[in-house]
Amino acid sequence: MVVDPAFRVGPVRPRTFGSFVEHLGRCVYTGIHDPAHPSADVDGFREDVVELVRELGVTTVRYPGGNFVSGYRWEDGVGPLQERPARLDLAWHSTDPNTVGVDEFVRWARKAGVEPMMAVNLGTRGVAEALDLLEYSNVRGGTELSDRRRANGSEEPHAISLWCLGNEMDGPWQTGHKTAAEYGRLAAETARAMRQLQPDLELVACGSSASDMPTFGAWEHEVLTHTYDLVDHVSAHIYFAEHDGDLASFLAAGVRMDSFIDSIVATADAVRAAGKHDKRINISFDEWNVWYQDRAESRPPSGEDWPVAPVLLEDRYTVADAVVVGGLLISLLRHTDRVHAASQAQLVNVIAPIMTEPGGRIWKQTTFHPFAQTANLARGVVLHTALEAPTYESARYGTAGLVDSVATWDEEAGELVIFAVNRGIEESTELAVDVHIEGLHLLEATSYAHEDHTWSATADDDATVLPRPNGSAAVAAEGGGRGSRVTMTLPPISWNVIRLARG
């Protein structure tokens, strides 16, 4: 691998390290909000969750969905608690008591130090309701809705700048799903109206729900043709899982992530050229993760069973899952020129890096660690890297490199960080990096791996597998003042981080 600070992809964007809180399963209730918990604050939010969210390095949180938002009436979740109605949630066949709503979520976001990213309902609702929510949230006062917010205890505006115009509107599972033409027109009308109220908003139009949807590509083209001058980003959603024991393909998920991003960029740029637009539409990758959708825990209740906060989508992640998550973070960073925001789905309990027991313990899943390391260490700019590695053929994603890697360079601090995954299943791989920066020394080198790649964390043990120092890492000056050579042995099925500093 060759790294040169002159070759830059773009800045490391803090919003790349966003997350997602949906009214789904136990993400909100007994997740972030659990008034009976010993650590609960005056608003009922678990302080131990807030502490782990800060440690994770989350920057933005998308709310309140997800599929949930397409049937959501935001007014139900504001005002006195005793007056809030319980509603059926058609998306997840549950009942929402509306104990947590817009005001509570924003207060939680401030406590956690994250930027709220709000989604509006364009499934069962439309322009008027989106404007009402914007007025309630962002107008300082002097109107019925802004004064209602103040009366409800939020004197200052919520100042939410990043908004999603609906969610996965091409999905037949979506309440009120639409054709591309129907959604494109509604999104354009909503965006135009919202900008009349607040011109400087950042707006995200719905892309297709998944790369394997029959609508993918044509949907983005049609929607952006309607909305190009009115929105800033188009959304992307993708999930991965190990299928039929095909670990080699699963570890190569980043190959699919790369091609997915490239396809969306190509479509957006085609609309730009055809419409003779000046600006570029970028990507809000506001749902991504490992998710085992075929498992029993992903099946919602049915029939007359409409529970509050059922156990749903509570996947328990393995070491291999964490390595894949690390590879997806590499892909997002590599495309930082066009991926301007991202949200790992989701934050607590629901396909999440953080797990809780109602009223009880909290623990970190395996996927916590690559996210936390990347969010806390990636600074400055992302560099283009020239990487030569052996390849293998995966059944699902074609040719994949045995190693994938990306580097970030913080010129002001003089710190270079290399993130790398080894997709090799049985053998270690030697990584050699020629860095065109002189005088580097090693700050730390860690690997996240285990001889049993199926190991999962539990409430009883979330510390057996952690990022551990990798003693094989070394730095040597290259002759002729050409820079430094960094070497390290990458264990099989591993996530690796090398931190270097100048001087």
Other CB atoms within 10 A of residue 400 CB: 23
Q: Answer whether 202's CB lies under 8 Å from 162's CB.
A: yes
Q: Is 81 helix (H, G, I), strand (E, B) or coil?
A: helix
For the record, the structure tokens of 484 come out as 């430094």
Q: How close are the terminal C-alpha atoms of the chain, in Å?
A: 22
Is the backbone peptide bond immediately before 123 cis, with ω within 30 degrees of 0? no
Pairing of strands 429-435, 94-96: unpaired
Q: Answer whether 76's CB lies under 8 Å from 87's CB.
A: yes
User: Could you give the strand order of the β-sheet that contains 2-11, starting from the edge strand earlier in sequence?
Assistant: 468-469, 440-448, 494-502, 415-422, 403-410, 381-386, 2-11, 429-435, 483-490, 474-478
Side-chain-facing half-sphere of 21: CA atoms under 13 Å = 31
For the record, the structure tokens of 331 come out as 């892909």
Burial class for 308, CB neighbours closer than 10 Å (0-12, 13-18, 19+): middle
What span, in angstroms and rounded, lies between the C-alpha atoms of 56 and 58? 6
Residues forming the active site: 168, 287
Q: What is the 3-state secondary structure (H, E, C) of 40-57?
A: ECCCCEEHHHHHHHHHHC
DSSP string, 362-423: EEE-TTHHHHHHHHHH--SEEEEEE----EEEETTTEEEESEEEEEEEETTTTEEEEEEEE-
